[in-house]
Amino acid sequence: MPALRLGDDIDDYCIKCKRVTNHSILAIVDGEPVKVRCRSCYNEGPYRRCVIPPSKRELQKAALLKQLLEQAPAPPPPAAGPEPAGKALPKPARKAATKAAGRKKS
């Protein structure tokens, strides 16, 4: 890839247009563009590398979720007690139990 120069066109996300558009490079630092201008609306801003920034609503949701998780009590550790009583019988025992119950009814 050839070295970028001032005035070259690159694709980047435009905050005003809310889409990826062509941008002109206005400033370069260490071979990387740092400031660009949208060729559609002429808005100037930092080079975002086509990454769409999170919306204010997404940031609010993330902050609220973080706050709720910090306030929530920690779950208790699992008890190593006996197995639950409602556990089903193994298949052979189940078959024998149903056959015996069927014979008693007739």
For the chain, the domains span 1-69
Q: How many CB atoms lie within 10 A of CB 23?
A: 26
Q: Which residue has the tokens 């193994």?
A: 90
- Judge whether 7 and 24 are in contact, CB under 8 Å: yes
Architecture field, domain 1-69: Roll (2.30)
Return d(Cα 66, Cα 62) in angstroms, integer.
6
H-only helix segments in 1-106: 56-71, 91-105
Q: How large is the average pLDDT for residues 41-46? A: 94
Residue at 74: amino acid letter = A
Residue 89 pLDDT greater than 60, yes or no: no
At 106 the pLDDT is 47
The β-bridge partners of 19 are 14
At 11 the pLDDT is 93
Q: Does this model's pTM top 0.75?
A: no
pLDDT per residue over 54-67, tens digit each? 889 999 999 999 99
Return d(Cα 35, Cα 23) in angstroms, integer.
10
